[in-house]
Amino acid sequence: MKTPFHLMLIPTLRCPARCAYCWSSEHTGPVMDLETVWAAVDWLAGLNDDPVTVTFHGGEPLVAGPEFYEAALPMIEEGLAPRTVAFAMQSNLWLLDDRLAAVLAAHRVPVGTSLDGPPDLNDAQRGKGYTERTRAGMEMARRHGVQVSVICTFTAQSVLERDAIVGFFRENGFVMKLHPALPSLRDDRPEPYALPPEEYGELLVYLLDQYLAHPDTLRIMNIDDLVKSVFVRRGTVCTFADCLGTTFAVGPDGGIYPCYRFVGMEEWRMGSVRDRPTRAELEATQAWQRLAAFRTFVDEHCRPCRHIRYCRGGCPYNALVPTGGEATGVDPHCVAYRRIYDEITDRLNREMFGGDGMEAMLMGRRPAGPPGIMALMQRMVSR
Ligand code: SF4
Ligand code: SF4
């Protein structure tokens, strides 16, 4: 099976919100023009013919405005035809109006927005009034039929309120995608918010238990992805797959980077879409070489780990940027990944090889006892 290609377009690094732990947005800065979008399309058309997901990220991508999306979305679809193009967007939805919602709906752009829990908790982390503005955007999206999931960033403080956060997601019927607050790799602002890896591991196990206990009122996308990875024996999201050469980000000025997280970091720039670099030219860049060295490091370092096939050392950004690009360690969240993958694997083995798990699976019925990993897998298949 071909690996789907992922192109991240960063129309701007500007964002009207001021989240306390965010280090990837700016107050000012350029906005991508349509000539750059066309250059990105033309560059990608010459690079490969793989199915592609194009994700608009930021900063806040809606800052680019309705004219941008009304022109860019068809330009991308037509310029990359006949391959399959899927879209996605990550946005706080503050700027969503009828016109923007209509164009997102017309091109089937699902949006991941951000709420960290109940309003008091969310606004303490993301700024006063954030919840109200995002909820208004979600309502606008709903009216137009734009699909919305909710990214929940867990910080060192909010993790103490995890019961209230899960309750909030269940009460509102929001699909959760969780994200651990990371230490800043560009400056020291978010250090007090960063979620330590051990706590992140505990949180994942807690969320697994919650998800299994509340199958009708809770859906957590990360848990689905982790369980699926163990079943299919390969990573199904970028953190656990080899993103080198299958993911690129294009910044507002057309600069090419390995992923949105690197945008604006000069030492990770791989060229410009305006120059239409070939794959060989991209492979010769320092950024590519550093990620390739990380891949080699993982092959050796993680060899004894039973999860290597579907973990692949985690996210290279997390691993490489703190060391100035030297592959001297894996993603610092290794502790968390090992914890949750151990938990899923061990529970699965107990379910399959203990009790009546294997017989139930062969008979197509639910094993006796409380819902477990196999029941979750059956639910995912039947969705
Ligand atoms: S660098 Fe990390 S976040 Fe970026 S695509 Fe790779 S795994 Fe994903
Ligand atoms: S859990 Fe840790 S040791 Fe195992 S593959 Fe992932 S990063 Fe490597």
Secondary structure E strands in 159-313:
175-180, 219-220, 247-250, 255-257, 271-272
Ligand 1 atom having least distance to the Cα of 8: 5
Residue 366 has what pLDDT? 65
Residues near 123 by Cβ (< 8 Å), separated by ≥ 6?
Answer: 129, 130, 131
pTM listed for this prediction? 0.91
pLDDT at res. 352: 83
Asked if residue 210 has its Cβ within 6 Å of ligand 1, the reply is: no
- Give the closest residue to 22 by CA, choosing from 177, 180, 150, 190: 190
Beta carbons within 10 angstroms of residue 41's beta carbon? 22
Q: In 27-118, where does DSSP find H-type helix?
A: 34-47, 65-80, 98-106
Tell me, what's the pLDDT at 371? Answer: 75
Q: Is the CB of 320 under 6 A from ligand 1?
A: no
Whether the CB-CB separation of 130 and 60 falls below 8 Å is answered with no
The predicted pLDDT at position 22 comes to 74
| Residue 308 Cβ < 6 Å to ligand 2 | yes
The finding on whether 332 has its CB within 6 A of some atom of ligand 2 is: no
Ligand 1: distance of its center to the CA of 205 in Å? 23
Q: Is 294 in the pocket of ligand 1 (CB under 6 A)?
A: no
Q: Pick the closest to residue 13 from 362, 260, 383 (CA basis).
A: 260
Closest CA to 289 of 309, 267, 273: 267
pLDDT for residue 186: 55
CA distance 318 to 329: 10
Ligand 2 binding pocket includes 261 (Cβ within 6 Å): no
Distance 101 CA to ligand 1 centre (A): 28
CB 43 within 8 A of CB 273: yes
Q: Whose CA is nearest to atom 5 of ligand 2?
A: 308
Amino acid 184: pLDDT? 63
Those residues with Cβ within 8 angstroms of residue 313's Cβ, 6 or more apart along the chain or in another chain:
294, 295, 297, 298, 301, 302, 319, 330, 331, 334
Cα of 234 vs centre of ligand 2, distance in Å, is 13
Q: Whose CA is nearest to atom 2 of ligand 1?
A: 315
CA of 17 to the centre of ligand 1 (A): 24
What is the pLDDT tens value at each position of the chain, 383 positions in all? 556 799 999 999 998 888 877 766 667 789 999 999 999 999 999 999 999 999 999 889 999 999 999 999 999 999 999 999 999 999 999 999 999 999 999 999 999 999 999 999 999 999 999 999 999 999 999 999 999 999 999 999 999 999 999 999 999 999 999 999 877 655 555 467 889 999 999 999 999 999 999 999 999 999 999 999 999 999 989 999 989 999 999 999 999 999 999 999 999 999 999 999 999 999 999 999 999 999 999 999 999 999 999 999 999 999 998 899 999 999 999 999 999 999 999 999 988 887 666 676 667 666 666 678 988 888 888 77
DSSP state of 221: H
